[in-house]
Amino acid sequence: MTPKRISQLVSAPDIFTERTHMRAHRLEDFEAMLAMWQDDAVVRHITGRPSTSNETWSRLLRYIGHWHALGFGYWVIEDRETGLYLGEAGFADFHRDMDPPLGSAPEAGWAIVSASQGRGLATEVMRAAHEWIDAHNPHGHTACILDPAHHASVRVAAKCGYRLAYETSFQGGATAVMKRPSKLSS
């Protein structure tokens, strides 16, 4: 199935929240991304292991390409006052090898640097990201996949309107698939 393109966007639009600036990824973000994706506290419930330089570089290019190919993607999260890299959040279509498959609806995700976790930033930026996707999403819903043991991320998803759709296994681990109806389809 060919994914639906949301719009003619080729780069992430700027979004400002109370504490953050969400912006398009740039090649200059690589070192900050690499540091975050090599932090055990960040990857424990996502990949289960630190990312290599090659994997992080591919992730950066994939994030940039999502906007051009599909009209949605991930944002860099910066501290609004200092410009400090705080993480990334947004939507993707990763064509995950899952049973059942997620389909082409945007898959929400977020990762916050460990020094900034526990301050409500993930909820803040994901609510802003969902406002944007609700205005542009022709799919009718978004999905997210989570390690059910990652209670903080399960809470963020619930605060953003996600509900458990089913549980499955992905890459050998228990996975909760959560779905959220788009405001356009409500």
Query: pLDDT per residue over 44-97, tens digit each?
Result: 999 999 999 999 999 999 999 999 999 999 999 999 999 999 999 999 999 998
With cut-offs at 50, 70 and 90, classify the pLDDT of residue 176. very high
Give me the pLDDT at residue 4, please. Answer: 59
Three-state DSSP at 146 gives: strand
Give me the pLDDT at residue 186, please. Answer: 45
Q: In what order do the strands lie in the sheet with 85-92?
A: 15-16, 20-23, 74-79, 85-92, 107-112, 141-146, 173-181, 163-170
Check pLDDT > 70 for residue 28.
Answer: yes
AA letter at 178: M
Check pLDDT > 70 for residue 114.
Answer: yes
Give me the pLDDT at residue 34, please. Answer: 98
**Could you tell me what percent of the chain has a pLDDT over 90?**
77
The better pLDDT of the pair 32, 7 is held by 32
> Which token pair is 122?
């993930």
Check pLDDT > 90 for residue 184.
Answer: no
Closest CA to 130 of 100, 153, 162: 162
Check pLDDT > 70 for residue 7.
Answer: no
Check pLDDT > 60 for residue 1.
Answer: no
Give me the pLDDT at residue 136, please. Answer: 86
Rounded Cα distance between 67 and 116, Å, is 26
18-22, 68-72, 80-84, 163-167: least confidently modelled range? 68-72
With cut-offs at 50, 70 and 90, classify the pLDDT of residue 183. confident
Q: What is the pTM of this model?
A: 0.92
> How many of the other CB atoms lie within 10 Å of CB of 55?
15
25 phi and psi angles, rounded to 5 deg: -70, 145
